[in-house]
Amino acid sequence: MSNECHMGNPGDAGRIISLGWLGNVWEFPRKRWNLPICQKSFFLFALQENNLLKVPLEVGLMELASSGFECPGIIRLLESFIGTSTVLVVMELFEPCINLLDFINSQRRPLAENQAKGVFLQVVLAAHHCQKHGVFHGDIKPENLLIQVTTGQVKLSDFASGNIMHGEKYTSFTGTLIYAPPEWFLFQHFMAEHATVWSLGVTLYEMLCGYMPFMWVEAVVETQVTFTQELSVECQNLIKKCLAFNPLNRPTVKEILKHPWLYLKSSE
C-alpha cells in the first residue's frame, strides 16, 4: 500500500464497470500484475476511517478479507494508493462475469435448485471467510455477487458498506435496506452474524423465486415466508431458518455450511 495516489490516465482506462456515489470502477489493461485489473476511485470524505488500520475502512476490510489463506470467493485486492482526498484501489478483474441479479434476469427464470446450491455454497463460504478475518461485509445481495458465466464461479465484491466484525450491537445500517433484518426496523440495532444470515436467506430466496421475499418494511417485520416456486422441503427449511424473525433462532454461518440441503442431490 502506498501513501500517494497515483491516479492512472483516464485515457488509458477501458470500459466503465460501474458508477456510484461512493466510487467509480474502470477496467484497465494488463500492467505489472500481468493479469486483467480494474481500478476503483473514491473520495475520502465518503468513508469512515478505521483507527486500528489507519486506512479508509473499505480498503482495510478488503485487506483483512485478503489476509491469510486466499479465498477464491472474494474479489482480490492487489494494491491501494491513498492520497490526501482520493483513494485508488486496484483489484483483479473477474471476467467474463456479470452480477448475479443480471444473470438471473438474463435467464428469464429463477435458478434451479442444483444451480442455486452451487452458487449459494460459494457465497456462504465467502461470508464465513470474511467473519474469520474480522470482516462484516454488510451488504450481501445479488448485485454484489459476481458470477463467471463460463465456469459458474462466484466472487463477493464491494465492501463499501462493511465494518469491523465484533460481538456488540451495531446501531447504524449502511447496506441496502430491503436486505436489513427485522430487528433493525424494530429496534434500530442488530448483530453482525444475525444480519449476515438474514441477507443470505433473502439472497437465496431471490435466486430461487426470482423476486424478494419482502417488498416493504411491514412485510419484513411480519416475516411471513411463502413460496410460489416448487422447492424441496430441505431448501424451504434452510430459507425459513435464515429468515427467522427472532435472530437467536437463525443458524450461524458455520451451521448453514452443515445444512443437509447443500449436500443433497436434487432429482431435477
Do the Cβ atoms of 200 and 123 come closer than 8 Å? Answer: yes
C-alpha cell belonging to residue 201: 436467506
Do the Cβ atoms of 60 and 50 come closer than 8 Å? Answer: yes
Do the Cβ atoms of 231 and 113 come closer than 8 Å? Answer: yes
CA distance 40 to 56: 13
CA distance 99 to 93: 13
Catalytic residues: 139
Which residue(s) pair with 41 in the sheet? 24, 88
User: Can you list the positions of beta strands (E) in 51-201?
Assistant: 55-56, 77-82, 86-92, 97-99, 135-136, 145-148, 154-156, 163-164
C-alpha cell belonging to residue 109: 427464470
Do the Cβ atoms of 124 and 256 come closer than 8 Å? Answer: yes
DSSP 37-67: EEEEEEEGGGS-EETTTTEEHHHHHHHHHTS
Q: Which residues of 91-121 are buried (b: 16+ CB within 10 A; e: fewer)?
A: bebbeebebbbebbeeeeebbebebbbebbb
For residue 184, the one-letter residue type is: W
